[in-house]
Structure 1
Amino acid sequence: MPTVAPSTSEREGVPSFRVGPDSIEVVPLTATIGAELRRVSLARVSRDRALFSQIKDLLLQYKVLFFRDQDISRAEHVALAERFGPLEDHPVAGSDPEHPGLVRIYKDLASKPEHYENAFHCDATWRTAPPMGSLLRCVETPPVGGDTIWVNMAEAYRRLPEHVKQRIAGLRARHSIEASFGAAMPAEQRRALHERFPDAEHPVVRTHPETGEQVLFVNAFTTHFVNFHTPENVRFGHDYAPGASELLNYLVRQASVPEYQVRWRWTKNSFALWDNRSTQHYAVQDYWPAVRKMERAGIVGTPTF
């Protein structure tokens, strides 16, 4: 149980509490999602099993955790992420050559604004087994802008109207890298990407494998429902396309509800650790041509069934 001694944040008027023998300071950032953890070294978490267990419990509770001013090497970054499981690479974004699985998301003057990150999405749901989560470090941040928003998709599902919950129970949807990253590629390259990563199918409502929560699991990678065209949903053929697409668009838009969100202002050597199974995120691209450089370790997940 957390101690009752007031923390620095409490004296400043920000509600917080401390947990564990190391007295990690937990500062919830909204009533729905996200907490900043203070008085903790991620370098030490990468080596300390008991401390890691505390962090994992807090992650399941808050869904995304934030840390500032972390003195940690790339090797320790990778080691910490690997405590959750093996790391995965990305077919489009490059990895650090000395640390496979540490994906470099570098936006600088050589880049131009693009549209993959500035959409609410759950990482790599185009995989049969989407990532369990990610540990993201800010290497360089613009003087203003470049925030990231995370969304609690368990809360988004919980607050759906009951008739919508009934309508989507049992629905499954297709997720595609070809229709997202591949869309900007030449046709031959796009088809090769599709052959390497065929579209994946996931339940519209996913059960979180550790918490048991029901999670709304559609996002910017979702193209269509695969089992909507039934006599119960479609009276005539022309009911199918608008009926299914309108319902899918309604569900995807739930991620844009501010009450389900937390927004993080990056600083150099700040980190975010999030549960990809129950959240979506949106990297705000309001800073170009300023520079923003991030490094992400994505953790291999399990099939959604």
Structure 2
Amino acid sequence: MTNTATLTENLPSSTSTIRVEKLTCSIGAELSGVDLGEVARDAALFAQIKGLLLEHKVLFFRDQNFSKAEHVELAQRFGELEDHPALGSDPDHPGLVRIYKDLDSPPEHFENAYHCDATWRVNPPMGCVLRCVETPPVGGDTIWVNMALAYENLPARVKEQIKDLRARHSIESTFGARMPIDQRHQLKERFPDAEHPVVRTHPETGEKILFVNSFATHLVNYHTPENVRYGIDYAPGAGNLLTYLASQAQIPEYQVRWRWTENSVAIWDNRSTQHYAVQDYWPAVRKMERAGIIGDAPF
């Protein structure tokens, strides 16, 4: 039996019901009976969607045939949009990033790692709206992970150990790694490494969230008398702990996996989730368009 709910309160007459079907016990819901083009224009309907996003952390929609302008308008309901230094935006729709994987752009293996978007920024995105423009016949799924649940299930001794730790996040060591050294250094000058708490607090729900991912390079304040007996302890101690924490995203019980179809959409809360774009479809084509919403500094 599927776990579903139907919401009717305060919806505009053009959309009589929203059907909400949970996809797993821990994260994700598919919504039907809603037109995201209408959501972009209707404040009351948007408020319903935002409330569901905070509850389920990632929302999925099928058959959303809206325009690029409506895509941008919908994402702007959440806040100002960001550009991406490595991918760039659609020239006619600022803030709409084209992630096109076709025969002229073989997989570069940036997305197939568990990550929150752009935590190398001082203010990482609060969320994203991603639409599938073209999908391969098989493969190309995306996985999302509930990192609030990942934190909740950590052993008490680990929670105590990490409560005040901070981690460094880098674009230089990820997107910049394949660049010539001068370009890599220029990229770091534009986007210096950001430092974030290992455990962040969600600004709207108050949840504690495990906030390290593949952009995190090292723990910056681990080397204290409480943690390190001799200097040589630092490297394995801090590195092993960071690896352990990042590995929590790989636990299936915290995940939902979404099979894309043309004009399907995902909206996710980047503060409380990680995701992994599975690159198992080459040489088939996969084209996505994403609008990332500027967030605030994690605390």
Matched, 1:68 2:62: yes
Question: Any idea what SS the aligned residue of 1:184 has?
Answer: coil
2:53 counterpart of 1:59:
yes
Which whole-Å CA distance do the structure 2 matches of 1:27 and 1:60 have between them? 15
**2:214 alignment partner, SS class:** coil
CA distance in 2, matches of 1:107, 1:54: 33
1:20 aligns with 2:8: yes
Tell whether 2:171 aligns with 1:183. Answer: no
* Cα deviation digits, residues 41-89 of structure 1 (max 9, x gap): 0000000100000000000000000000012111011000000000000
TM-score by length of 1: 0.95
The amino acid of 2:18's aligned partner reads: I
- Asked whether the equivalents of residues 136 and 272 of structure 1 are also in contact (C-alpha less than 8 Å), the reply is yes
Checking the alignment, whether the CA contact within 8 Å between 1:228 and 1:244 is kept in structure 2 is yes
- Check conservation: 1:20, 1:54, Cα contact below 8 A: no
Count of paired positions: 293
Q: Give the deviation of 1:16 after TM superposition.
A: 1.0
Question: Is the 8 Å Cα contact of residues 133 and 299 (structure 1) preserved in structure 2?
Answer: yes
Deviation at 1:112, TM superposition (A): 1.4
| 2:76 pairs with one of 82, 89, 109 | 82
- Name which of 112, 128, 133 aligns with 2:106: 112
Residue in structure 2 matched with residue 201 of structure 1 by the alignment: 195
Task: State the shift of 1:209 in Å.
Answer: 0.3
Counterpart position of 2:267: 273
Cα shift readout 1:229-263 (whole Å, capped 9, x = no counterpart): 00000000111000000000000000000000000
The SS at the match of 1:50 is: helix
Distance in 1 between residues matched to 2:126 and 2:104, nearest whole Å: 31
Q: Give the TM-score normalised by structure 2.
A: 0.97
CA distance in 1, matches of 2:142, 2:161: 32
Tell me, which stretches of 5 or more residues in structure 2 are unaligned?
10-15
Supply the distance in 1 between the matched residues of 2:211 and 2:204 (Cα, whole angstroms): 16
- Deviation above 4 Å: which 4+ runs of structure 1? none
Taking the TM superposition and a 5 Å limit, the aligned residue runs for 1:251-266 are 251-266=245-260
Q: What is the alpha-carbon distance in structure 1 between the residues aligned to residue 104 and residue 264 of structure 2?
A: 24
Aligned-residue offset at 1:15: 2.6
Q: CA shift at 1:17, angstroms?
A: 1.3
Distance, in Å, in 2 between the alignment partners of 1:81 and 1:23 is 22
Shift of 1:14: 2.5
Of 284, 289, 295, the residue aligned with 1:301 is 295
